[in-house]
A and B are shown apart, each in its own frame.
Chain A
Amino acid sequence: MMEKLFKTLSFMSATLVMVLLASIFISLFNSAKPAIDEFGIGFIKEKEWGKEVPIDNPVSTVVDTTEQKKVEPAPASDDSLEALLGGGNDDTPMKTIYGGFIPIVGTLLSTLIAMAFALPIAMGIAVFLAEIAPKKISNVVGIAIELLAAIPSIIFGMWGLFYFAPLVQELVGGYQVSLLTAGLVLGVMILPFMAAITRDSMKTTPDVLKESAYALGATKFEVIRDIIFPYSKAGIIGSIILALGRALGETMAVAFLIGSVFSLPSALNSPTVSIPVAMANSFGEATGMKTSALFYLAFLLFIISFSVISVAKFYFLRKDK
């Protein structure tokens, strides 16, 4: 009796993972449905966010208000004017269009900058930890790097905004809150994560292989390049993609720095917005179609990160137990 109960409970707990993921998928899709119906797949190419346009055919736009009801009274915000125009005047045949192009581009670009910044340094750290440093130093530095990885992302955001961004601004000019500073702080944030898992992959290289190469007179660099990298290639690429997935979905480190402006960045050092940041800053006050459009963005982000992580897992990190 106990036996059966225990087994059933453990089976149900394991299955809950699948149920949860499926429910996330379904509920995001359902909440995004009004926006998906309204804007279709063209959503990802549409550059306007919250722009009033006249309706050509006066189809009612009231559909969306029923399901996504506003929960809290909205505090006055930058959007209040738009909310007034969008929600209040029913006599003018206007509708508001929302497009995901800018946040999608902002997400991809900030991730790209972060990867470009973090990748070489993380590889260097991993090599240092796995091959160069004496065991004692490697342990201490390793713990330090892991502690850096444990620091909550909101701390990276605050530090980035008040200390790192002013420095970057001094060096390259432009705005303190910008695509560049957001990308760099994001890079600092994923750096320890990427370094730690890359080190773990490198450490799987059998000592015999390395020792044989050394015995043949190879230098440390040659061993790293010709033995360790080829041997742990799959693991390293997998680690990099996992870090990429993490950077794509990161909210707080970016929220302080990207500026949260719905405009395409004209240069690296001008502000824009990313999907998580758009959600973090607009979700609470959004109503109707806007909420739905934000859910559409969340749905897209979920799909993107799901695919990225799956690729990392299935192609590179498959461990057959």
Chain B
Amino acid sequence: MRLLLNKIVLLLSTLSALIGLAFLAWILFTLIGKGLSSLHFSLFLNDLIDGGLRNLIVGQFIMAGIASLIGIPVGMMAGIYLQEYGRGRYVRFIRDLSDIMMSAPSIVIGAFVYAIVVVPMHGTSGIAGSIALSIMMIPIVINTTDNMLSLVPRELREAGIALGASKSRVIVDIIIKAAKVGIMTGLLLSFARIIGETAPLLFTSETSNYFSVNLTEAYPSLTVSIYALANDPTSSSRDLAWAASFILTMMVLMINLLGRYITRKKG
């Protein structure tokens, strides 16, 4: 009886794993099937107005890139504070807030940026989109930096100080270096996370049919356009949406795998 029960439970558990894998396979095969059949090289050369995706891919990367330029230094500095400078209660408080912020609904972040950036600027813009993404990114980077620095052995810090190096030198030259691999992976994963975001961009950057380097106007976004295209009843729009989804997912998964590869190789 006990053994039978044991068998049943183990079977059910294995079955759950299979269900999980089946969903992954189903989604990936759908994407590959639909995506590859609509994918043409010309999609990378034309903008959305001419039935291509070039402006959207570039726009999404530019916004995620600017978000990283803001989010990575701020997040890393905050993580450094939590691990190296701060003491006691305040550190715990900020750490908790950062964790909460990491789980805040992304659409709410979008609404916030709408209120503080879009309304004063009288319109959606690439800047607003980048700010929304950077707010999404900061807590993720804090979490990564915090965790990775906590793994650096205390002796390294002491050795640095004993050599007469200043604290900031020790942090930059020794501690960050020691945690380099982990931090790099974390940064890649956080970039992968924000580049696939849609909700915070819906009413901050919106999207645009044209190629644009002007960040003060509505800005081309791959994800927002996927949402619009997929809801469009014409089949050519839907095919384009599938091609865009395929490209987006492949980018995200590649960055993810790259991050894991770095950790495995050096860590």
Contact = CB atoms under 8 A, between A and B. Distances in A.
Interface string A215-245: 0000111101000000000000000001001
Interface string B70-109: 0001111110111011100001011011111101111111
Given A132-B13, A276-B107, A152 B20 contact: no
Contact of B230 (A3, A124, A161): A161
A128 B253 CA distance: 24
Interface string A113-127: 000000011111101
A128 B13 contact: yes
A249 B81 contact: no
A83 interface: no
Contacts of A12: 77
B216 to A, nearest CB: 13
A220 B9 CA distance: 9
Interface stretch (A51-59, A262-270, A279-287): A279-287
Interface in B199-242: 199, 202-203, 206, 223, 226-227, 230-231, 241-242
Given A124-B16, A125-B20, A280 B202 contact: yes
A20 B14 contact: no
A268 B6 CA distance: 35
A10 B198 contact: no
A18 interface: yes
Contacts of A251: 105-107, 198-199, 202
A31 interface: yes
Interface string A4-36: 001101111111111011011001101100000
B260 A143 contact: yes
A219 B2 contact: yes
A284 B74 contact: no
B10 A221 contact: yes
Interface in A90-107: none
Contacts of A295: 111, 115
Contacts of A245: 103
Contact of A309 (B76, B86, B99): B99
A28 B104 CA distance: 13
B37 interface: no
Given A11-B85, A143-B260, A221-B10, A129 B107 contact: no
A211 to B, nearest CB: 17
B76 to A, nearest CB: 8
B20 A195 contact: yes
A271 to B, nearest CB: 15
B123 A72 contact: yes
A175 interface: no
A7 B168 CA distance: 8
B161 interface: no
Given A17-B138, A128-B13, A295-B115, A155 B27 contact: yes
B229 to A, nearest CB: 10
Contact of B94 (A18, A123, A148, A256): A18
Nearest to B260: A143
A252 B24 CA distance: 18
Contacts of A108: none
Given A14-B77, A148-B20, A249-B106, 5 more contacts: A10-B85, A17-B101, A24-B112, A71-B122, A141-B17
